[in-house]
Amino acid sequence: MAEAATRGGHPPWRTRGEQAGRLSRRLLIPVLGIVLVVAVLVPVIARGGPRVPQPVAFNHRKHTQDLGLACDFCHRYVRTGAHSGLPDASTCSLCHSSPQGTSAEAARVTELLAAGDSLHFNKLFRMPDHVFYTHRRHVAIADLACATCHGDIDQTERPPPRALVTIDMAFCVSCHKAEGATLDCNACHR
């Protein structure tokens, strides 16, 4: 039997060892791929999404604590609009058009402003598309402190790479229940 099979040069079957080797080689690439994807995704998901880059290393503590600026000095629409608004070059240039302080980052801001950079800050806290949230309702009418949802953002000295608080529906609902606010679906989803 064995003779007849080997006569043609190629055995019609593979030995177990050969099969296993081929199988492991075939599996090697997908398994490596899955391991790589997991290795990249797990830290990203665990820490709440990708890093949010910012144009300059804004120091919230310096501005809000040491200089005593109110949140709505830069987040101008926090009491009137759905979005609180992010500052742009025109806001920064109220002070930084001339050199301020001693830090290298402040000097860089003045340089960037002089070069005509628009200083596009990126949103850190994002609501999903199906949530209709307004800052006016929560800040101006319900009189909530910013820290209620944004944590200690005013104490940070560098831009945090990710949101300090994970805002999910359980977070909203727990407060709505405690405060006796609406629990009507339509109030937030439509």
119 conformational bin, left if phi > 0, alpha if psi -120 to 50, beta if neither: left
DSSP code, position 124: S
Q: How far is the CB of 129 from other proteins (least distance, A)?
A: 7
* Residue 168 engages other proteins in binding (rule: CB under 8 A): no
Is residue 122 within 8 Å of 58, Cβ to Cβ?
Answer: no
Residue 140 CB contacts under 8 Å (≥ 6 apart), including other chains? 79, 80
In total, the chain counts a number of residues equal to 190
Report d(CA 84, CA 139) in Å as an integer.
Answer: 10
Contact residue for other proteins among 27, 40, 41, 141 (CB under 8 A): 141
How would you label 6-22 residue by residue, b for 16+ Cβ within 10 Å and e otherwise? eeeeeeeeeeeeeeeee
Stretch that binds other proteins, among 18-26, 56-64, 98-106, 126-134 (CB under 8 A): 126-134
Contact residue for other proteins among 137, 150, 162, 176 (CB under 8 A): 137
* Residue 143 engages other proteins in binding (rule: CB under 8 A): no
Stretch that binds other proteins, among 28-36, 88-96, 134-142, 171-179 (CB under 8 A): 134-142
Minimum CB distance to other proteins smaller for 90 or for 182: 182
* Residue 186 engages other proteins in binding (rule: CB under 8 A): yes
* Residue 27 engages other proteins in binding (rule: CB under 8 A): no
* Residue 170 engages other proteins in binding (rule: CB under 8 A): no
* Residue 176 engages other proteins in binding (rule: CB under 8 A): no
CB atoms within 10 A of CB 92: 22
Contact residue for other proteins among 23, 82, 114, 173 (CB under 8 A): 82
Report d(CA 88, CA 74) in Å as an integer.
Answer: 8
Stretch that binds other proteins, among 13-21, 34-42, 137-145, 156-164 (CB under 8 A): 137-145
Report d(CA 182, CA 172) in Å as an integer.
Answer: 11
Minimum CB distance to other proteins smaller for 36 or for 131: 131
Residues near other proteins (CB under 8 A) are: 82, 129-130, 132, 134, 136-137, 140-141, 184-187, 189-190
